[in-house]
């Protein structure tokens, strides 16, 4: 029975973990595809019943969606937390799971590093260093500063835990009120107009969907303090990028750290490259050295459960 299962790994860099998966499950057939043409060919010829789907630039959303909706597929494991590259989950007929929580602590570490950088002004000192300018810049401790987290899942929770170690006051916004011991206060999204003007840092941790497209818009940026910093490590299209650029150019906010963008890779024509009050990274803030192996290991644990008929971890849809 096991020999009948074929597992397609959609990823352009499978070298670091693919052999380990094959060795752990010798009775299964593992195949991989790293671009649109390879995915289309494997789906047509091999008809895999399990997919391990990495979000990767060489494979388009259209192709990922096509594979996910194929009737031969019985289960999809997303290698990561975000699943927007699969299209509308409602149109996928098989169970879908993700790896939410696997890299949360690392993304939270990067967010904390960005807050420290922006707050102390390390990026401004680097600019001064390049110009050989010896000038002292005023700063205040993170102690007592207010962090507003929009989204309080695995990552938001980890960020809150880190921030409170520095004595920050953490306010979380969640779709529904629920116990969140890592936060000092928890509110629902309708309170954002009141919360945004109070925040020293605003950090986004929402999943991307049609409902969150351009969720953070011009009005929200206008509600922020001029001294506040904005952080987005979730998905680029959750933010109205044009409104963000305007807010930064006109210094309606103090600055930002961005790991995600409306178009990726970030086009050379983007005005974000030119702004001195912005820190940019290439959608890689949680990608610690062994992130491939961590996702593969999580998938392997879920695959053991799937083969045994047990309930799957991190089930997004049944």
Active-site positions?
235, 264, 283
- Give 185's strand partners: 171
Report the C-alpha gap between 203 and 114 in whole angstroms: 11
Report the C-alpha gap between 102 and 86 in whole angstroms: 19
Tokens 């494991």: give the residue. 77
Residue among 105, 113, 86, 112 nearest 97 (CA): 86
Contacts with 13 (C-beta within 8 Å, 6 or more apart), sequence order? 34, 56, 292
Cβ-in-10-Å burial (0-12, 13-18, 19+) of 309 comes to exposed
Question: C-alpha distances in angstroms, 96 versus 8, 42, 236?
Answer: 14, 20, 23
Q: Where do the H-state alpha helices sit in the chain?
A: 18-24, 36-46, 61-68, 104-120, 122-130, 154-165, 192-195, 218-223, 241-249, 291-308
């Amino acid at each position: 029975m096991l020999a009948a299962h074929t597992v397609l790994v959609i990823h352009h860099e499978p070298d670091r973990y693919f052999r380990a998966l094959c060795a752990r499950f010798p009775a299964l057939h593992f195949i991989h595809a790293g671009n649109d043409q390879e995915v289309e060919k494997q789906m047509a010829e091999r008809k895999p019943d399990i997919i391990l789907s990495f979000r990767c630039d060489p494979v388009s959303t259209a192709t990922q969606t096509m594979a996910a909706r194929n009737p031969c597929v019985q289960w999809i494991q997303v290698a990561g937390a975000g699943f927007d590259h699969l299209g509308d989950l409602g149109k996928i007929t098989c169970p879908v799971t993700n790896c939410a929580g696997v890299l949360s602590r690392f993304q939270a570490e990067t967010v904390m590093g960005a807050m420290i950088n922006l707050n102390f002004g390390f990026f401004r000192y680097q600019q001064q260093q390049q110009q050989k300018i010896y000038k002292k810049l005023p700063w205040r401790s993170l102690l007592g500063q207010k962090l507003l987290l929009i989204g309080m899942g695995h990552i938001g929770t980890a960020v809150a835990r880190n921030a409170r170690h520095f004595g920050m006051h953490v306010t979380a916004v969640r779709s529904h009120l629920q116990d969140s011991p890592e936060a000092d206060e928890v509110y629902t999204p309708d309170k954002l107009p009141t919360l945004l003007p109070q925040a020293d840092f605003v950090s986004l941790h929402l999943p991307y969907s049609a409902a969150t497209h351009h969720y953070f818009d011009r009005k929200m940026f206008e509600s922020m303090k001029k001294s506040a910093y904005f952080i987005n490590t979730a998905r680029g299209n959750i933010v109205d990028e044009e409104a963000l650029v305007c807010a930064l150019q006109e210094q309606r906010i103090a600055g930002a750290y961005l790991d995600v963008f409306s178009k990726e890779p970030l086009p050379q024509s983007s005005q974000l490259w030119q702004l001195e009050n912005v820190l940019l990274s290439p959608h890689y803030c949680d990608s610690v050295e062994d992130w491939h192996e961590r996702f593969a290991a999580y998938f392997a644990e879920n695959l053991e459960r799937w083969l045994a008929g047990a309930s799957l971890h991190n089930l997004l849809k049944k």
